[in-house]
């Protein structure tokens, strides 16, 4: 059941959510040969890449929630130059960027930064498409770029010309009207949108052993993002609302654990479905879902 | 390094034993890492197939990381202490129950260099990987290999029963109920006074590991520390299990460890791995 997505032909409709599968680390854990043979995704989406390297948030970074997970990782990455020089060749050895199309996820805090990232990706033949993470504060306004429709449309329009590759805008769910933001991304020139990203969430440190006093935030980054089955029905509603409004393709994700959940998102209008948190519990789950959809 | 089959596999619990405050789960794992024993220090992500969820706070959700404590005749042994909804559910399992397992994962202990005595230092449930390490260092017949000294620390006598997992262990307890009244690092200091030409292998709570690390640094004794951290995946995907690396940046306990050369760490932080959020 091959799927056409923005001019790419994919073996099936299941991909990974950005930041939920590190192919290079997985090759260390499972061996390159085995990973190549069992690669679970029809396209591979990278972790978010920024212009400068980031080491990420101080630990603790995880909190197990009811039927889900709050993470506060802080987008650690080697920066654009490190990604291109070190990661791309290693990914290519695993067939990613050749046999499996590579989608590079990027984030910048201004249109200028984003344009530089898109231009750099555009120059690399291994990169089939670019996903833009807009869950990032604008340096000038302080607002998340993706949280405000007019700001999002301006940024997408300003950077659109920096690449001829398919441009996917990864929407944030932490906004008043996701469908309006999706419409703004389309109007600004996006080729596709993906959703949902994690829902902003927090947890307090366990009080055990503390006499009185406030436990304070558990996560080193203070707040994090909730994912997993806890958000599945939020995702279904948002994907349905966005798909009904847009003419461009939609990548749906949020709490997908089985072929049934993937079918639900496809049925409400998603072209592709991404698996994220469930891959933490079983790295082969996306392959099992793809097989069950055939 | 033994690499894991790709994907979690459904295994069967063959036996459950109580070892004082601890539970030993024996799990038939014929496929294992291609029928080979995991490396000492490697771990697996475990979850019950039935009723994983619905405990306190509607947890657990994620699998839990456990060092392989022993691997014999196609059976992996895991040492478990009930400290939260995940470990509680695993402690309830009985023979015949099904278990999801992904592993073996991570980098294990490295063999001692020629002529150095192996000093195994464990604390609490962290003694688990030292058992398979002792088995491996002893060699297949149990009589080969370099001399090994085993020092274990526990909170109380119920936990000190865990010492039976290893052979010829000397024990310290916080309450003085068994063995030396004090810290296992007291025993370690005496051992290093006696013979400083050693390599230390340690696993236990963060406070103990920091004590071992600081002592070994002062004495210039090489040490390999098996760390614990809350982790969502175990194979480098989530970036949740990091500890600060000496000189900046972070190490992922799951793929850069769990066994990490003490020289790579500035200190072992009580909070670093953040296991509390995912017990």
So where are chain B's domains?
9-105, 117-278
The proportion of chain A whose per-residue pLDDT surpasses 70, expressed as a percent, equals: 98
Q: What is the pLDDT of residue A143?
A: 81
A276: its two tokens: 């994220």
Name the phi and psi angles at A111, rounded to 5.
-60, -35
B167: Cα separation from own chain's centroid: 16
DSSP A111-149: HHHHHHHHHHHHT-TTEEEEEEE--SB-TTT-SBGGGSH
With tokens 């200190």, the residue in question is: B267
B25: its two tokens: 């789960």
**Architecture of the structural domain at B9-105:** Beta Barrel (2.40)
What rounded mean pLDDT belongs to chain B? 93
All residues of chain A having their beta carbon less than 8 Å from the beta carbon of residue B4 are 29-30
Mutate to test the interface with B, among A56, A62, A63, A274 (most CBs of B within 10 A): A62
Question: What is the spatial distance between Cα B129 and Cα B78, in angstroms, rounded to a whole number?
Answer: 9
| Secondary structure in 3-state letters for B104-127 | EECECCCCCCCCCEEEEEEEHHHH
Name the stretches of chain B with pLDDT < 70: 31-35, 140-146, 271-278
A178: Cα separation from own chain's centroid: 16
Neighbours of A258 (CB within 10 A): 15
Q: What is the pLDDT of residue B270?
A: 74
Name the phi and psi angles at B165, rounded to 5.
-65, -25
With contact defined as beta carbons under 8 Å apart, do A133 and A105 qualify?
yes
Q: Is there a shared CATH topology between the B9-105 domain and the B117-278 domain?
A: no
The proportion of chain A whose per-residue pLDDT surpasses 90, expressed as a percent, equals: 92
Question: What is the spatial distance between Cα B165 and Cα B135, in angstroms, rounded to a whole number?
Answer: 11
Q: What is the pLDDT of residue B274?
A: 47
pLDDT one-digit tens code per residue, A150-170 = 999 999 999 999 999 999 999
With contact defined as beta carbons under 8 Å apart, do B12 and B49 qualify?
no
A28 touches B at CB < 8 Å: yes
Closest CA of chain A from B237, distance in Å = 5
Query: Is the model's pTM score more than 0.90?
Result: yes
Q: What is the pLDDT of residue B34?
A: 63
Q: Which numeric CATH code is attached to B117-278?
A: 3.40.50.80
Name the stretches of chain A with pLDDT < 50: none
With contact defined as beta carbons under 8 Å apart, do B224 and B262 qualify?
yes
Q: Cβ separation of B240 and A34 shorter than 8 Å?
A: no
All residues of chain A having their beta carbon less than 8 Å from the beta carbon of residue B276 are 60, 205-206, 218
Domains and CATH numbers, chain A: 3-58+74-202+227-293 (3.20.20.70)
A32 touches B at CB < 8 Å: no
Tell which residue, A174, A195, A198, has the closest CA to residue A65. A198
Residues of A annotated as catalytic are 136
Strand pairing category for A127-133 and A102-106: parallel
Q: Three-class SS of residue B173?
A: strand
């Amino acid at each position: 059941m091959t799927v056409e997505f923005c001019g790419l032909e994919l073996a099936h409709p299941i991909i990974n959510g950005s930041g939920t599968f590190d192919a290079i680390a997985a090759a260390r854990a499972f061996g390159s040969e085995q990973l190549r043979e069992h690669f679970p995704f029809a396209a591979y989406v990278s972790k978010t890449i920024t212009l400068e390297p980031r080491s990420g948030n101080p630990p603790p970074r995880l909190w197990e929630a009811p039927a889900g997970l709050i993470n506060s990782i802080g987008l650690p990455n080697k920066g654009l130059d490190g990604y291109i020089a070190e990661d791309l060749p290693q990914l290519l050895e695993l067939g990613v960027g050749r046999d499996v199309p590579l989608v590079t996820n990027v984030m910048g805090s201004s249109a200028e930064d984003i344009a530089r990232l898109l231009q750099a990706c555009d120059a690399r033949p291994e990169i089939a498409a670019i996903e833009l993470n807009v869950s990032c504060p604008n340096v000038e306004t302080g607002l998340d770029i993706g949280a405000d429709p007019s700001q999002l449309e301006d940024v997408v329009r300003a950077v659109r010309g920096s690449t001829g590759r398919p441009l996917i805008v990864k929407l944030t769910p932490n906004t008043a009207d996701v469908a309006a933001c999706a419409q703004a991304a389309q109007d600004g020139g996006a080729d596709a949108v993906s959703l949902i990203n994690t829902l902003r969430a927090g947890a307090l440190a366990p009080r055990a052993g503390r006499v009185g006093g406030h436990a304070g935030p558990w996560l080193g980054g203070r707040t994090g993002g909730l994912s997993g089955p806890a958000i599945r029905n939020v995702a279904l509603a948002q994907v349905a609302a966005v798909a009904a409004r847009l003419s461009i393709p939609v990548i749906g994700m949020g709490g997908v654990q089985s072929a049934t959940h993937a079918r639900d998102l496809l049925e409400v209008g998603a072209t592709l479905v991404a698996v994220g948190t469930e891959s933490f519990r079983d790295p082969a789950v996306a392959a099992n879902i793809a097989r069950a959809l055939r | 390094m033994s690499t894991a089959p790709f994907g979690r596999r459904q295994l069967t619990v063959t036996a459950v034993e109580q070892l004082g405050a601890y539970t030993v789960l024996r799990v038939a794992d014929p496929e294992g890492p291609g029928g080979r024993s995991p490396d000492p220090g490697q771990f697996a992500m475990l979850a019950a197939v039935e009723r994983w969820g619905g405990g306190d706070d509607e947890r657990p959700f994620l699998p839990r990381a456990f060092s392989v404590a022993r691997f014999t005749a196609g059976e992996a042994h895991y040492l478990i202490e009930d400290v939260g909804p995940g470990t509680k559910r695993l402690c309830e399992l009985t023979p015949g129950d099904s278990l999801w397992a992904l592993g073996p994962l991570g980098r294990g202990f490295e063999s001692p260099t020629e002529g150095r005595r192996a000093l195994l230092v464990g604390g609490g449930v962290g003694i688990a990987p030292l058992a398979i390490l002792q088995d491996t260092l002893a060699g297949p017949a149990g009589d080969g290999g370099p001399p090994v000294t085993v020092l274990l620390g526990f909170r109380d006598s119920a936990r000190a029963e865990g010492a039976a997992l290893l052979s010829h262990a000397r024990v310290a307890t916080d309450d003085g109920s068994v063995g030396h009244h004090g810290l296992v690092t007291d025993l370690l200091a005496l051992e290093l006074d006696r013979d400083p030409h050693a390599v230390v292998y340690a696993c236990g709570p963060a406070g103990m590991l920091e004590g071992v690390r600081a002592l070994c640094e002062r004495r210039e004794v090489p040490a390999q520390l098996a760390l614990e951290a809350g982790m969502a995946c175990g194979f480098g995907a989530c970036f949740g299990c990091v500890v600060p690396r000496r000189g900046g940046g972070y190490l992922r306990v799951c793929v850069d460890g769990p066994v990490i050369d003490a020289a790579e760490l500035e200190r072992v932080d009580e909070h670093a791995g953040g296991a509390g959020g995912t017990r």
